[in-house]
Amino acid sequence: MAKKNINYYTLFIEAAGYSCDEARELKNAVENFDGNLLAKNIQMIHTIEHTADEKKHVLMENLSQEFITPIEREDIVSLAQELDDVTDAIEEIFQSMYMYNAQNTTQEAIEFAHIILKSCECIRELMTEIENFKKSKVIKDIIIRLNDFEDEGDRLYMKTMRELYMNTDDPLKIIIWSRLYQKFEDCCDHCENVAKVVEGVIMKNS
């Protein structure tokens, strides 16, 4: 099969766009919660995630035949994987809500969804800058913002878990929501991991 001429940076932007699509669906799902729609939501999210996986496959297949790459090969692989992990993490939130048969939402879940959407939008902005990272005047500020969102997620997670254990008598509710909040927090971590890879690229090429 002949190697396709692709732009890795364009694929990074597209991958970030899929995360944004999922994050918007997550925000809508928790703000307008309906447990009866979770199965339908999962199908929609899986379609987005599957499309993202296909684009990642194109990238990896092309990379295996590429002799010269715009940045180091391992950095392309790492960035593609971290972007894919974000889409996977959002899908896992939906899957967990369905598996644990969540019957309601919480204000904290809504706050997490907002943080995740802001993080994904920040990642997309970051991907538009990485091609010209040596000349970009905003890329470091974007990375700082992304780190700040992860810190916000950490603080929300600690506060939420403490309040859950202090104020909830139902053991099943504690189990369900402690696991769901962990999924939300994990997603925030995956978003920050994208920034860490980009920071590494900048350090290697400065």
Q: Which fold has domain 8-198?
A: Methane Monooxygenase Hydroxylase; Chain G, domain 1 (1.20.58)
Confidence of residue 1 (pLDDT cuts 50, 70, 90): very low
Q: Does 80 have pLDDT greater than 60?
A: yes
> pLDDT (tens digit, 9 = 90+) per residue, 137-150?
999 999 999 999 99
The residue-averaged pLDDT of 186-200 equals: 97
> pLDDT (tens digit, 9 = 90+) per residue, 9-19?
999 999 999 99
> pLDDT (tens digit, 9 = 90+) per residue, 84-117?
999 999 999 999 999 999 999 999 999 999 999 9
Given a contact cutoff of 8 angstroms between Cβ atoms, the answer to whether 93 and 22 are in contact is no
Q: Does 75 have pLDDT greater than 60?
A: yes
CA distances from 193 to 86, 147, 154 (A): 9, 9, 14
Place of tokens 């699509």: 21
> pLDDT (tens digit, 9 = 90+) per residue, 114-145?
999 999 999 999 999 999 998 899 999 999 99
- What pLDDT is stored for residue 67 in this prediction? 81
- Amino acid, single-letter form, for residue 119: S
Cβ neighbours of residue 111 under 8 Å, at least 6 residues apart?
156
What is this structure's pTM?
0.94
Please state, rounded to an integer, the average pLDDT across all residues of the chain.
94
- What pLDDT is stored for residue 50 in this prediction? 96
- Amino acid, single-letter form, for residue 200: G
Cα–Cα distance for residue pair 97/178, rounded to 1 Å: 12
- Terminal-to-terminal C-alpha distance of the chain: 36
